[in-house]
Chain A
Amino acid sequence: MSDDPSPTENEAGTTRRRALMLGAVGVSAIVSIRPALAQTNASVMTCEIPVPDAGRAGSAITADGSVVPAGTPGSFAANGRVFKAEDVKRALSGGQLPGTEYDTNRAYMNYIRKLQSGTSGFTCFASLQMPRG
């Protein structure tokens, strides 16, 4: 088959339209710049901290805040508790997380204090520490 070079104009002199591909359902056309660390725009007081993070739901927390398999002697069941920022803030000033006793409160608070960047709840906790806004 011989190929003639494709004209951008047909014989009537009108221009061919540019092709626009819509893409498949699973493909993405948008990249949104995600804030790092404690730069989130979300309201601080409505954010939440899961104990432990959802990836380790069902684990238990030791007194010093480490995550261990459920049933480990001396550890406290966490049951995927989720705490609001305002509760954590209150507990940081000497109060107690709702629904906890002295030992479980201490264990959960130590877990929260040890949150590392990338763990669910870290950004929320980090924003609680910033004295301005």
Chain B
Amino acid sequence: MKHAFSVKIGPVGFRIGSDWRAPIERLAELYSGYPMPDDDVADFTVRLFAARFWRRFIRPAVTIGGDFVLPDAAPLPLAQALLAAEMGMNLQMALGQRRYLLLHAAAVERDGRALLITGVSGAGKSTMAALLSLRGWRLMGDEFALLDPATGLVHAFPRLVSLKNAAIGVVERAAPAHRFGPLMANTPKGDIRHLVPDAAAVAAMAVPARPALILFPSFGYAPVRRALAHSETFVRLTQASTNYVALGERGFTALTGLVKSVPSVAIDYPDTDSAISQVETVWAAL
């Protein structure tokens, strides 16, 4: 491919090739503090390409390719190429990661212990991770938490934090302008703006943490908390893992170990202030 960018995020190295220069320049700018893949060898490749050669120039549309692809992915307009690159990286992880058990969860760390925030799209994982990272927690990731079956430790995967719609304004009010990528309006997932992880998070991305609390937030309700039974947590986390089945017995060991050693709490919250306050309360009571 004509233009290429390589980056290491947490323990994973990526190489992103592109038919267009602009997205590569943008990625290089936003990920400028990050290291290169070990020995310059990427674990996964992502390709941003034009499905027909004329699609490079006429109503340019980015098709997402790579080591792993999904057949129903519609191409994105060139203006959203950054989103395409991010989706491409997520896809490689979701379908190809075998070393770590992948949990669809945000993770933040304090004093060597990790808080895992899990839930479907829209539950508020990325927003909460962003806000907590602006309040003294180390950001480990907003999309995937990597669980090592051998040690039970959580490893960071601090890619750009993906904020959607109303969350954009909430975080913009809390963080300086230079921390943000461009606003991408009207994408298939709504308006999106990326928050660049702070320098401390990037510098510490190879430092794992011991999971200490698993949170299941639900947005839009009066504040309420309840503890979850191990069995319920286990089943909900298998639904939140893209590679539990593929990891076989290692996945079983990792996940049973996690739910038996780490408490889980479900919280309902009406607004982000309530969510943050509930998190701090539950964490302090551990």
Contact = CB atoms under 8 A, between A and B. Distances in A.
The answer to whether A and B belong to the same complex is yes
Interface of A: 31, 33, 35-39, 41, 113-116, 122, 125-126, 128-132
Given A114-B72, A115-B72, A33 B244 contact: yes
Contact of A131 (B68, B235, B245): B68
B189 to A, nearest CB: 16
Given A33-B235, A130-B95, A131-B67, A116 B244 contact: no
Interface of B: 67-72, 94-96, 235, 238-239, 242-246
B242 A37 contact: yes
Contact of A36 (B70, B72, B96, B239): B239
A113 B72 contact: yes
Given A39-B246, A130-B95, 10 more contacts: A31-B235, A33-B238, A35-B245, A37-B242, A41-B245, A113-B72, A114-B72, A126-B70, A129-B69, A131-B67
Chain A interface, DSSP helix/strand/loop, else mixed: loop
A65 B235 CA distance: 36
Contacts of A128: 71
Nearest to A31: B235
Contacts of B239: 36
A38 B238 CA distance: 14
A126 B94 CA distance: 13
B243 A39 contact: yes
B131 to A, nearest CB: 29
Chain B interface, DSSP helix/strand/loop, else mixed: loop
B68 A130 contact: yes
Contacts of A33: 235, 238, 244-245
B157 to A, nearest CB: 19
A114 B73 CA distance: 9
A37 B102 CA distance: 14
A16 to B, nearest CB: 28
A36 B71 contact: no
- Most chain-B CB neighbours within 10 Å: which of A31, A38, A114, A125? A38
A80 to B, nearest CB: 22
8 contacts: A39-B246, A113-B72, A114-B72, A122-B72, A128-B71, A131-B67, A131-B68, A132-B68
Contact of B242 (A36, A41, A116, A132): A36
Contacts of A132: 67-68, 96
A39 B242 contact: yes
Nearest to B67: A131
B72 A116 contact: yes
A68 to B, nearest CB: 19
Contacts of A122: 72
B71 A113 contact: yes
A116 B244 CA distance: 22
B72 to A, nearest CB: 6
A55 to B, nearest CB: 18
Contacts of B72: 113-116, 122
Nearest to B241: A36
A41 B248 CA distance: 11
- Most chain-B CB neighbours within 10 Å: which of A114, A128, A129? A129
- Most chain-B CB neighbours within 10 Å: which of A33, A113, A114? A33
A122 B73 CA distance: 13
Nearest to B66: A131
B163 to A, nearest CB: 24
Nearest to A41: B245
B71 A39 contact: no
A44 to B, nearest CB: 13
Nearest to B246: A39
A38 to B, nearest CB: 7
A4 B243 CA distance: 55
A39 B68 contact: no
Contact of B95 (A35, A38, A115, A125): A38
A1 B147 CA distance: 59
